[in-house]
Chains A and B, each alone.
Chain A
Amino acid sequence: MITAIIRRVLLAIPTILALTALLFFSVTLVLGSPATMMLGEDASPRAIAEINARYGFDRPAYVQYIDWMSRALQGDFGRSFTSQEPVARSIAAALPVTIELALWSIGLAALAATVLNTLPAGGRLLRTTVVALNLVGITIPNFILGIGFIFVLSVSLGWLPSTGWVPWSDGALAHVRHMIMPVLTLSAYYFGAFSLVYRAELKDAYSKLYIRTARAKGLSEGKVAFKHALPNAVLPVITFAGLSMGHLMGGAIVTETVFSMPGIGRLFVGAIAGRDFPVMLAVGMLIVVGVVVMNFIADLLYTVVNPQISLE
């Protein structure tokens, strides 16, 4: 087990290096020199040369990459072109917002998908409603869902603040009120996707003998569903939730933009709009590393909860 984990970690390192190098070179090669990006297209050659010399943009790309990487490993991602703030500080401020949004959304989606699909007594109406909601979650792009929520819950009914974000320290109630719509928006797709996986597993579980045994000894349908079917069907949802964390970043970008939340996604979109090279690079790499790490953790969790599967 330990050697398998070490081997996986050693395998993950070249993957991260390859992906980050690809990102670095494609961004530097295609976007042109960062100096022109900073100064604009019609900057004088002398000013460009000066910037190049000061930041070291005139060195070969691989030297710049190694330099960037070794600084990044020490937590130094350079300074933003637009705000002049250290990139590491911007990321440190934005990351908790995104992580909170992501965890609430994945958690809510997993909880709703398992509980609502397990409820046996709900009957046909509940089942149809859940299937319809799943379809809505999967097929409606989340910026549209977000705008829909804003229109109904803020503009029309005035129940919730439309956009913005309030830290915990400024009041728990205000914080929660600002989080409700973004979390609902981001979790909708995963509610649908998890439900599809879970329903297939549940159907499989219900064909097993232990369900028949449970019924034969006189357990109520509710007990059969929650004590025997659910625990046997929930595992793939947990793995899928872990694997979804990377994909979730795409949704977080859109959701944070709709609701003006100061998270990683909005930082990234802002950096793209402002051609802010260091921020773009740092956030891009953060996402890549995050995806590889999350996949690794999901694999690991899977072997822990299901010993039949090994990492070998």
Chain B
Amino acid sequence: MILKPPAWIGLAIIVLVAICAAAASVLAPVDPTRSSVFFLQGPSQQHLLGTDELGRDILSRIIYGARTSLLIGAGAALVAVLIGAPIGLAAGYFRGKIDIVILPIIDLFIALPGLVLALIITVMVGPSLLNLVLILGFVMWPTIARLVRGQTLATREHAFIEAARAAGGGSFWIIRRHVWPNIMRVVAAQFAVTVSFAIITSASLSFLGLGIPPPTPDWGSMVRSGFDFIAVNPSMSLAPSAAIALTVLGFYLLGTSVE
């Protein structure tokens, strides 16, 4: 797998965010949930990015928020691959009746607006970290399934698949040993893109008021509450906005710039 220059930029951003998430307790200047009487202050020496409406340090909340974003993004993409890859492999490898049933379902789910779907399901089951991971994974699987199906369709025509079949290999064995290793890289690249879209969708849900419940630091919710005070303290919404945009950009660049 060859990484083009933009992919390295993406990787650097992801590493930076991952360090923030892993070492949040060391890096954050203060406890992200501790409120104080110094609310809605602009950037200063004590609070590099200022404070929010409850006097909490915005920088610390952004550093801790990296955990939530990465967990939801990577978790949702993993769920999407776990659902989408087997379905795509089955449809692409066996074709015929299985494909006829699966393909319209995939197309239908791709056509439905993911955010609306996620919104409805979140209202029904309630927002929690685990629920959001499962919901976003469920919303994103069709894209993975369609990609895997297409790749499988192309791969199964190769001579080495025929050879494996001639050697007496069963379908499951051929898929596991010959098809999957050949399409794994494409899926890995799509995984990164899926992480970026999962982060966008979860941030949008938070902005609409259906994110991780407080006081857990969450970038989308921070943007939402900061939006009300945009004329008073712009950094309250602009700083977490930048964090979201940068993280999404990192995963997107990594996923789209590999050969």
Contacts and interface: CB of A to CB of B under 8 A. Distances in A.
A150 B249 CA distance: 22
Interface in A99-155: 135, 138-144, 147-148, 150-151, 155
B136 interface: no
B249 A139 contact: yes
B208 A140 contact: no
A291 B112 contact: yes
B244 interface: yes
Classify the interface of chain A: helix, strand, loop or mixed.
helix
Contacts of B252: 135, 138-139
Interface stretch (A63-71, A177-185, A245-253): A245-253
Interface in A241-267: 243, 246-251, 253-254, 257-258
A253 B119 contact: yes
B223 A31 contact: no
Most chain A CB within a 10 A radius of its CB, from B114, B227, B234: B227
A243 B244 CA distance: 27
Contacts of A300: none
A310 B241 CA distance: 46
Contacts of A144: 203, 223, 241, 244-245
Interface stretch (A22-30, A78-86, A168-176): A22-30
A155 B230 contact: yes
B239 to A, nearest CB: 11
Contacts of B249: 135, 139-140
Contact of B204 (A19, A148, A151, A254): A254
16 contacts: A26-B124, A30-B125, A135-B249, A138-B252, A143-B204, A150-B230, A151-B234, A243-B111, A246-B113, A248-B113, A250-B114, A251-B115, A254-B208, A272-B120, A272-B210, A284-B120
Interface of A: 15, 19, 23, 26-27, 30-31, 135, 138-144, 147-148, 150-151, 155, 243, 246-251, 253-254, 257-258, 268-269, 272-273, 280, 284, 287-288, 291-292, 295
